Amino acid sequence: MAGHSHWANISIKKGIADKKKGKVFGKLSKAIIIACQLGGGDPNINLRLRYAIDKARQQSMPKENIERAIKRGTGEGNGEQYSEVLYEGYGPHGVAVLCDILTDNRNRVAGEVRKIFEVNGGNLGATNCVGWMFDRKGLFIIPASSIEESKLFDIALEAGADDVQPFDTSFEVTCDPTKFEEVRIAFLNQHVACDSAEVTRIAQNTVDLDLDQTRQIMKLLEALEDNDDVQSVTSNFNASAEVMQAIAAE
């Protein structure tokens, strides 16, 4: 993965999210609801709920929306029940794609996701057909202008992070998911600015794409992201900074 920055993909996903704020709020609400259903409504005890609330706040989700989702998740709302599903498949040019789903209708969303893959030149696959290609990691994106590399390295490694990698305008800090909260708190206490902080899947190897190929895979990823039940989409494509900038400008 040498030279591959995960921030490019995250930036594109944030751009998609910004264009569809209302839809994003619905997805964030689902994440809060299921976190409450699985671990209760206290974010001081339920780390999954705390992460869901933090992500909602990063997207400027109104406080009343967050509180409403917590009430629904703890049984004060209409009592809907969501299931977690992971769909896996291949996009154009052999790109591996993972879709995290929260849904109240597994049969419906399975058909919808399969159709999206097919229409956009991909194929929905069987369980673990591509999942084995990804490692679950905590990932922090730190603006390079905000801190010296040596200082960031000391803070991160002392907190339990695995690695710090510099890229053009940022540092990427990775850690085991079990260490995510410790690293997050260490950065917070040391006033280290984070452009992004999440537990995500990181590809072990990537597929390099040119501009036209990147347009094709982005069409698939955007269509998947647009589905109400899809919480997040992860892939293993890699494109140059110039290609990503061209895509973002379109």
pLDDT of the chain along its 250 residues, tens only?
A: 334 556 555 555 555 555 566 678 888 999 999 999 889 999 999 989 998 998 899 888 999 999 999 998 888 756 677 889 999 999 999 999 999 999 989 999 999 999 999 999 999 999 999 999 999 999 999 999 999 999 999 999 999 999 999 887 889 999 999 999 999 999 999 999 998 888 888 999 999 999 999 999 999 998 998 898 998 899 999 888 788 778 777 7
Residues 196 and 232 in one domain: no
Shared domain check, 236 and 138? no
What is the per-residue pLDDT for 75? Answer: 83
Confidence (pLDDT) at 19: 54
Instruction: Tell whether 2 is covered by a domain.
Output: no
Q: Measure the CA–CA gap between 26 and 24, rounded to whole angstroms.
A: 5
d(CA 190, CA 105): 44
Residue at 148 is within a domain: yes
191, 138: one domain: yes
Q: Are residues 245 and 138 in the same domain?
A: no
- Please give the structure tokens belonging to residue 64: 């009343």
Query: Domain limits at 14?
Result: 7-73
What pLDDT does residue 2 have?
A: 36
In this prediction, residue 12 carries a pLDDT of: 52
- CATH of residue 169's domain is 3.30.70.980
Q: Are residues 24 and 41 in the same domain?
A: yes
pLDDT of residue 3: 42
DSSP 120-132: TT-EE--TTSSGG
Per DSSP (E only), the strands in 91-146 are: 96-103, 123-124, 134-143
User: 87 in a domain, yes or no?
Assistant: yes
Domain count, the chain: 3
Determine the Cα angle at 21 with ends 52 and 106, to 5°.
Answer: 60
What pLDDT shows up at residue 183?
A: 95
pLDDT value of position 9: 55
Domain contains 1? no
Q: Do 191 and 214 reside in the same domain of the chain?
A: no
pLDDT at position 154 is: 96
Q: What is the pLDDT of residue 221?
A: 92
Domain end (from 170, 187, 203): 203
25/127 same-domain check: no
Spatial distance between the Cα atoms of 226 and 31, rounded to a whole number of angstroms: 16
Domain of 64: which CATH number? 1.10.10.200
- Clarify whether residues 118 and 211 are in a common domain: yes
